[in-house]
């Protein structure tokens, strides 16, 4: 069975490096655990490394984290469900009156439910448009069962091109200024995800209104989510995929990078496929291997000229991109093994 090996200590070290980078810019770090199914061991490592809170999108994950880490502040960054009960966070993100009402309905006679309003700043996914923000914020502020905690935005997860990242940050900063000018206090401004770390790495300054970032990919994989470059002080091998070679032969190829006159290449078939990795890319630790393609159950790799072909039964190690990591962690056909903590 394929394996996903997770070094929890390395996740903690990555969290510490990212938290330190953010502190230099007076920013707090919220660790996102959706990529690891809300695993409490990983969540604990993020908190120990300097995350001030944990964020997730799934009810099951939030319940797991709440049970295992009762002192942790939890953020529900998935929009409220209207057709069925949902698990709120200590802070829950909303984009509509309907969503805000759903959160309010979970309230009791105690403290009001804290909400962050998600603002659309160019990714064309979730987020209230700027022209409707003041109306929604006023509604939330007037609802006694809710407390307007702040604003948030997300970018570079759907359709937002890299060139628009700085504009996204300015967009949420302007939204905060608009609400404050209208007398609506917002204490927290979440400027985005691990993609923003690329800007900090190159020395950019963020708008002073931004108070925190939500990061998952950077903590699990040690890289930003915009250019996918390693971050200072981070390890890129905290999560390693391992799959067995099931077949190794010389075969005819029309897609080989070798001269067409040769037409014959060494290829290996690994016991992991699209069901386990989705479309997410992987990088082999052996530089002599390159992926040719994958089907539902298999991944085919080509052996570079001059490199030794791995034998049948040998285990090949790969570093997954974030999409591949999430798919592997979710797949019932991949065994997740932990070390550390």
Q: Nearest Cα to 148, choosing from 210, 89, 80, 91?
A: 91
pLDDT band with cut points at 50, 70 and 90 for residue 261: very low
Provide the pLDDT for residue 62: 98
For residue range 144-181, list pLDDT tens digits in order.
999 999 999 999 999 999 999 999 999 999 999 999 99
For residue range 180-235, list pLDDT tens digits in order.
999 999 999 999 999 999 999 999 999 999 999 999 999 999 999 999 999 999 99
Q: Is the predicted pLDDT of residue 256 greater than 60, yes or no?
A: no
The pTM of this model reads 0.94
Q: Where are the domains of the chain?
A: 8-221, 239-339
Query: What architecture does CATH give domain 8-221?
Result: Alpha-Beta Barrel (3.20)
pLDDT band with cut points at 50, 70 and 90 for residue 108: low
Q: What rounded mean pLDDT belongs to the chain?
A: 95
Q: Which of 177-181, 230-234, 256-260, 266-270 has the lowest mean pLDDT?
A: 256-260
What's the CATH number for 239-339? 2.40.37.10
According to DSSP, residue 254 is labeled: S
Q: Is the predicted pLDDT of residue 257 greater than 70, yes or no?
A: no
Provide the pLDDT for residue 313: 98
199 contact partners, CB below 8 Å, separation of at least 6: 165, 166, 169, 206
Q: Nearest Cα to 210, choosing from 198, 193, 224?
A: 193
Q: What is the mean pLDDT of residues 14-33?
A: 98
Domains 8-221 and 239-339 share a fold: no
Question: 258 or 234, which is more confident?
Answer: 234
∠ CA(120), CA(134), CA(197), 5° rounding?
35
Alpha-carbon torsion, ordered 111, 60, 48, 55, to 10 deg: -60
Q: What is the mean pLDDT of residues 238-249?
A: 97
38 contact partners, CB below 8 Å, separation of at least 6: 56, 58, 60, 61, 62, 64, 65
């Amino acid at each position: 069975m394929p394996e996903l090996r997770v070094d929890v200590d390395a996740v903690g070290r990555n969290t510490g490096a990212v938290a330190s980078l953010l502190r230099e810019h007076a920013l707090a770090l919220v660790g996102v655990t959706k990529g690891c199914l809300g695993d409490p061991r990983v969540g604990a490592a993020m908190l120990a490394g300097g995350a001030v809170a944990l964020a997730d999108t799934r009810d099951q994950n939030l319940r797991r984290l709440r049970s295992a880490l009762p002192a942790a502040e939890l953020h529900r960054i998935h929009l409220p469900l209207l057709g069925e009960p949902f698990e709120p966070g200590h802070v829950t993100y909303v984009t509509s009156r309907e969503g805000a009402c759903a959160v309010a309905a979970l309230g009791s006679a105690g403290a009001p439910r804290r909400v962050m309003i998600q603002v659309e700043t160019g990714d064309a996914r979730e987020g209230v448009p700027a022209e409707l923000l003041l109306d929604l914020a006023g509604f939330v502020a007037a609802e006694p069962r809710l407390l307007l905690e702040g604003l948030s935005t997300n970018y570079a997860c759907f359709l937002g091109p890299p060139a628009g990242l700085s504009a996204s940050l300015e967009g949420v900063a302007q939204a905060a200024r608009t609400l404050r000018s209208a007398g609506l206090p917002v204490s927290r401004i979440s400027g985005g995800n691990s993609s923003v770390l690329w800007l900090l790495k190159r020395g950019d300054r963020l708008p002073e209104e931004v108070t925190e970032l939500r990061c998952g990919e950077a903590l699990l994989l040690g890289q930003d989510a915009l250019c996918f470059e390693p971050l200072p002080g981070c390890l890129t091998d905290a999560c390693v995929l391992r799959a067995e070679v099931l077949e190794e032969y010389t075969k005819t190829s029309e897609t080989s990078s070798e001269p067409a006159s040769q037409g014959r290449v060494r290829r290996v078939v690994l016991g992991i496929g699209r069901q386990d990795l989705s479309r997410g890319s992987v990088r082999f630790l052996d530089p002599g291997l390159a992926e040719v393609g994958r089907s539902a159950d298999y991944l085919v790799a080509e052996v570079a000229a001059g490199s030794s072909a791995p034998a049948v039964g040998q285990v090949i190690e790969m570093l997954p991109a974030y999409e591949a990591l999430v798919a592997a962690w979710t797949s019932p056909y991949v065994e997740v093994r932990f070390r550390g903590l």
